[in-house]
A and B are shown apart, each in its own frame.
Chain A
Amino acid sequence: MTITELAPTKSIDARGMACPGPLLNLIGAIRQGQVGDVIEVISSDAGSRTDIPAWVAKAKHEMVRIVEEPGFARFIIRKAR
């Protein structure tokens, strides 16, 4: 994977937001975006760790990667449809 492929179309800093806030922000961004867009969600909510991958799988988008950082995680999602 190249750096270009990873560069997010949109980044949402949802740190400090409680469950299910970060997921709702992601859903909103996916709905507004175009197919192929890469959305980054930065979340400190523990629920996001399970909720975001579960929703992405269910909604049939692509979970590109999850980057763990101290106290939060970056979720990189590609809008697939």
Chain B
Amino acid sequence: MEDTTVSLVLFSGTDDRLGAAAILATGAAAMGRPVNLFLQYWALDAFRKDRVTADHGVVAEAGTAGAAMVKKDQTGPRHWSELLRQAKDIGDVRIHACALSMELFGITKEDLDPLVDDVEGVASFMSDATAGPITFI
């Protein structure tokens, strides 16, 4: 099988979606596939260095029990930010911040966790994503 790039657009900033995205990225990195992450909107906001491990909530369908389950899972090495750190350690994982979202949210590169490699425009992300499908999370 060809090792095509896995490109994920992270839009949602809830811990369940970020957690699921981090699992996908880690699996792809483990299997030797390049991973290209693009952070937009609420996902970008969740990568602010002063609130990466804050409680970012869950999607509406989770309900109270679901929220508690996710909160319990997103601790220590299971937290999505730690999984992404491990993914970067074992593979080729690039995390890009969407330039437009940065402007919209008033975020500078210094505000972001060091997990984020750089700030780039959407066209640049697309040019990196040509080798495989793009998934919007």
Q: A residues within 8 Å of B by Cβ?
A: 18-21, 23-24, 27, 51, 54-55, 58-59
Most buried by A among B26, B30, B32: B30
CA distance A28 to B88 in the complex (A): 13
B131 within 8 A of A: no
Whether the Cβ atoms of A24 and B73 lie closer than 8 Å is no
Among B21-37, those with CB < 8 Å from A are 23, 26-27, 30-32
Q: B residues within 8 Å of A by Cβ?
A: 23, 26-27, 30-32, 73, 77-78, 86, 90
Residues of B within 8 A of A59 (CB): 32
Residues of A within 8 A of B26 (CB): 20, 24
Minimum Cβ distance to chain A for residue B75 (Å): 11
Question: Which partner residue on chain B sits nearest A27 by CB separation?
Answer: B90
Residues of B within 8 A of A58 (CB): 31-32
CA distance A59 to B91 in the complex (A): 12
Q: Can you pick out 20 interface pairs between chain A and chain B where the beta carbons lie within 8 Å of each other?
A: A18-B73, A18-B78, A19-B23, A20-B26, A20-B27, A20-B30, A21-B78, A23-B30, A24-B26, A24-B30, A24-B86, A24-B90, A27-B30, A51-B27, A51-B30, A54-B31, A55-B30, A58-B31, A58-B32, A59-B32
